[in-house]
Amino acid sequence: MSHDRPRYAVGTLVGLAGLLLFAEPLVGPVALGPVAVSVGVLAVGLSLGGVLFLSRGRWFVGVAHAVPGVGFAVVFGATALGSEAGLLFGIAVVLGACLALADGLRRQR
């Protein structure tokens, strides 16, 4: 069971990101806002998942976590800096990763 702790950590971070996303209408404005903070937590969770899966030799799943993690980190940074170009780039990275994942899953069938 101890080998599943990293998975639980990643799942907890991704779940926390979801809760923060839904909490936005319930809380007042903060420096970045709950949505931006949830994107940052999601970036950390996905990136951690990528590192953990890659370290276990699970290349496809590791990359499927790491690339969107980087994309969401760019979205978080662009939001913090107010960069529209950075925001669009981060979204493009996430969408590209989704398309690559869908294609990879289709090929595995």
d(CA 91, CA 106): 23
* Between 43 and 4, residue with greater pLDDT: 43
Number of domains in the chain: 1
At 31 the pLDDT is 53
Please say if the pLDDT value at position 84 is more than 70: yes
d(CA 81, CA 87): 10
- CATH number for position 19: 1.20.120
DSSP string computed for 8-34: HHHHHHHHHHHHHHHHGGGS---SSHH
d(CA 10, CA 74): 19
Backbone angles phi, psi at 28, to 5 degrees: -75, 170
**46-68 tens-digit pLDDT:** 999 899 989 999 899 899 999 99
At 74 the pLDDT is 93
What's the mean per-residue pLDDT of the chain? 80
The boundaries of the domain holding residue 53 are 2-108
